[in-house]
Structure 1
Amino acid sequence: MHVDHVGVATEDAESLADLYTELLDAPVAHEEVFDGLRVVFLDLGGDGYVELLEPVDDDTTIGRYLENEGGGIHHVAFATDDIEAALETAREAGVGLIDEEPRDGAWGHDVAFLHPKDTGGALIEFVEH
């Protein structure tokens, strides 16, 4: 497993993408509207991505996160070749699952989230390409 991306919640993905492109030399690799969010992936040159998450609908998880916490790092995603096995490992370790089964994620990937109360306060995502 390796870090696939870091998800950043923002009110303005376009402006933040422009800034990160300049600061990190990280061009936009993929952009879509998915599940009430504008999602922009910035390519870190083979070392993963920064995923910018901007709500476009009023009632989204990211919208509520921004309202309560403000912008910033939302989650860390780890790439796995077998998301079902990764979830089983988490279950066996006693980690609560937000997603008991993989679900559709941005960019056509399967994803599942682990509960931060069991992971040191960090929201962890498994992603299978």
Structure 2
Amino acid sequence: MHFDHAGIATDDAAALAELYGDLFGLETVHEEVFDGMRVVFLECGDGDGYFELLEPITEGTISRYLEENGSGIHHLALATDDIEAGLETAREHGVSLIDEEPRSGAWGHTVAFLHPKDTGGILLELVEH
């Protein structure tokens, strides 16, 4: 596995993408509306990872997160070539799964989340491209 992206909850993905572009030269490489959110991926370096900006369009997980916590890092994602094996390893180590089975995610990826109560307080996402 390797680092894939940091998911950042925000009220305004376009403005944050513009700021990160101006500050760090990051470019938008993918944008879509998915699961009630505007999702914008900014590439960091030469494919070294991404910032995934998550702006709620409808009520849901990200809108609730923003209400409770404000803008900021929502999750960290690790890329894997075998998400099923990653979930099995997590189970073997007693990590609670938010997603017992992989599901469709943004940008056509397959994803599954691990519960932060068992991962040092960090919501971790496994992502298979």
Is this a same-fold pair by TM over 0.5?
yes
Partner residue in 1 for 2:34: 34
Name the amino acid aligned to 1:87. Answer: L
Structure-2 separation of matches of 1:78 and 1:106: 14
Q: Which runs of 5+ in 2 are unaligned?
A: none
Give runs of aligned pairs for residues 1-129 of structure 1, distance below 5 A: 1-45=1-45, 46-57=47-58, 59-129=59-129
State percent identity of aligned pairs.
71
CA displacement 1:39-84 (0-9 Å, x = unmatched) = 0000112211000000001x21000000001010000000000000
Q: Distance in 1 between matches of 2:29 and 2:127?
A: 17
For 1:53 and 1:41, locate their aligned partners in 2 and report how far apart those are by CA, in whole Å: 9
Following TM superposition, where does structure 1 have runs of at least 4 consecutive aligned residues deviating by more than 3 angstroms?
A: none
Farther off after superposition, 34-43 or 20-29: 20-29
1:21 CA drift (Å): 1.0
Distance 2:44 2:72 in 1: 18
- 1:22 to partner: Cα distance: 1.3
Q: One-letter code of the match for 2:51? A: V
May I ask how many residue pairs the two structures share in their alignment?
128
Once the two structures are superposed, residues 61-120 of structure 1 have per-residue CA deviations (whole angstroms, 9 ceiling, x without a partner) of 000000001010000000000000000000000000000000000000000000000001
Deviation (angstroms), 1:25: 1.1
User: Which runs of 5 or more structure 1 residues have no equivalent in the other structure?
Assistant: none
Q: For 1:49 and 1:25, how far apart are their aligned partners in 2?
A: 13
Distance in 2 (alpha carbons) for counterparts of 1:68 and 1:88: 31
Kindly provide the amino acid, as one letter, of the partner of residue 55 in structure 2: E
Cα-Cα RMSD: 0.5
